[in-house]
A = this chain, B = another copy of it.
């Protein structure tokens, strides 16, 4: 009897559970204060509106809700998204939109569409861990984007990719309130990235999962809007916008979308048809029902809540962190990114934090394509309440001070 390990395709050899996942398993103990997760506060879910939505959908349109459907997604939801994208400065039609089972699925399908083994993916250091996991199935290498301090030249990216045996095939980043850093790319930084994508002739994936969660400051145009402006029409753009209802309405229904040039959408529809036929119709209809009636109100509610918690966390960090520790000041999203004193290791600190301080977070190296960033950690503020934030950051600050001696 052969061993299963010998049977798997090469692309799966390095798959392993994410550090976050492993970490969350440790968090069953109720006395641990967790800043580790990246999940919304369930108290903010529009439960009544969602319940009413399922009731309405199943009372009036059960035959559609329960039957097979088209891979593009539920047409009225795509129509609603056309309006939503217009509010972001993007003029498009339903042929520029495909519904996905959460935005994670969009990353998988985009990897499938663009990455061959040995090709190069450009991304920020650090970047969303789930994007690395999704792309890794297609066996790329990574090179670094640095939209503010200075990207490499197109020629340098190309040479580096060719030396590694492939081509530069896509660029990926979260421009608004990045997971994990909470930081936002400036308008100039975005324009440079759009320019780079055109120069390299590659898609630029704009992960907009946190886009709606701006607490203060002025919105920066989406890269897709900048590219539409540059090109005069969405079908000539290179930006692939990946949106999600997970952070605004609810993640449990798994509804996201991609908005991009029509040829890309047409290919994603073919990929989706072969990969899962379509996202659950009933959930698309329920999301449409809720979005149409109360999207803006819901976003406002979530923003107000997370803004307060961001403030509690920044206050607590200022009060309790010892000298030598720095952190980002996010204008939105769900995370603060902390840089530890020189030489301190986030993973080692986590082990001690769980044991001694009963506090959890995610070590920053997990978000680096090359495993660097060891002296960083990610703190989530969307789930813990004021008291947990103050107590947890106080304990963490004390531990870091002890360790830094």
Contacts and interface: CB of A to CB of B under 8 A. Distances in A.
A271 interface: yes
Contacts of A42: 62-63, 66-67
Nearest to A45: B66
Interface stretch (A49-57, A86-94, A291-299, A321-329): A49-57
Interface residues of A, number: 81
A63 B45 CA distance: 8
A276 B254 contact: yes
A274 B136 contact: yes
Contacts of A138: 9
A165 interface: no
A280 B283 contact: yes
A30 interface: no
Contacts of A2: 201
A271 B12 contact: yes
Contact of A39 (B67, B116, B236): B67
Contact of A133 (B15, B274, B281): B274
Interface stretch (A16-24, A148-156, A214-222, A340-348): A16-24
A303 interface: no
B21 A273 contact: yes
A108 B9 contact: no
Interface string A112-155: 11111001000000000010011011100000000000000000
A184 interface: no
A11 B9 CA distance: 15
A252 B4 contact: no
Nearest to A277: B104
A202 to B, nearest CB: 7
Interface of A: 1-2, 4-12, 15-18, 21, 39-40, 42, 45, 47, 50-51, 54-55, 58-59, 62-69, 101-102, 104-105, 108, 112-116, 119, 130, 133-134, 136-138, 169, 198, 201-203, 236, 246, 250-254, 261, 263-264, 267, 270-271, 273-283
Given A18-B273, A104-B277, A105-B275, 4 more contacts: A15-B267, A17-B273, A21-B273, A47-B62
The list of the 9 closest CB pairs from A to B, nearest first, reads: A66-B252, A2-B201, A133-B274, A66-B250, A108-B275, A54-B54, A105-B276, A51-B58, A42-B63
